[in-house]
Structure 1
Amino acid sequence: MTKKVEEITAAYTKVHEKLFPGEAMTELFFEDDHFGTPYLEVTRAGYQYTVKERGNIQTAETFQDLDDFFYRFFGHLTFQVSCDFEAQNRVDPSADSRILIFAHQKELMGRHSEEWRRKTEAEISKITEEYPFY
């Protein structure tokens, strides 16, 4: 059973505050902004994570559980934040930037729960197995 927009927004705010304490709230969109921003569509099938760019659907994933949707949404957001963090804290320009990006993302996702940290670490492991650090 899906929740109402108000309940979703309240739950979103709690998760956001755990991941980014004291920082400005990143808006959760419930419709396409036409700029490739992820948004939530609540349907009978569940919570749909959707990304459209120039009218074309780039990503559309449906989740039965709101926490699973949030994991996907905040995974995207923490990756963006971690890329910015790496760019601002780069020490060695010749080093693989993903080392710092992935470490920071795991730390951010771990602020929500150990489960989110482990899931993020597993996803990163898959990436680095296929595309090893240099």
Structure 2
Amino acid sequence: MFLVGLTGGIASGKSSVIQVFQQLGCAVIDVDVMARHVVQPGYPAHRRIVEVFGTEVLLENGDINRKVLGDLIFNQPDRRQLLNAITHPEIRKEMMKETFKYFLRGYRYVILDIPLLFETKKLLKYMKHTVVVY
């Protein structure tokens, strides 16, 4: 199986490129979707975020208030790093689970749509190829 990292700026055409890969029979994993998934109530990252940043980052239904959390970390690199240290390992675990599922289903190529692929650097070593859409 080949893992292909796909990245690019906002409105660069990544969705169109993903559609082409899907039409060619490739599996696609959207890491943004995973990032929202791992912070849902009941997941370890959610619990840890509330422990570290307090209940003021919660909506009434218990979901993370992304705007409030974003405001807390926007101009504070140390707090942003702390949030990343909480969420990134959980996101990587979910990516590995999904990738393994596709492997078991016989997919030859798995495209990982990772917006910050080059910025985070940790995932690059797992990619057979990278595609940058601009």
TM-score, scaled to structure 1:
0.35
Q: Pick 1 or 2: higher relative contact order, CA cutoff 8 A, min separation 6.
A: 2
TM-score, scaled to structure 2:
0.35
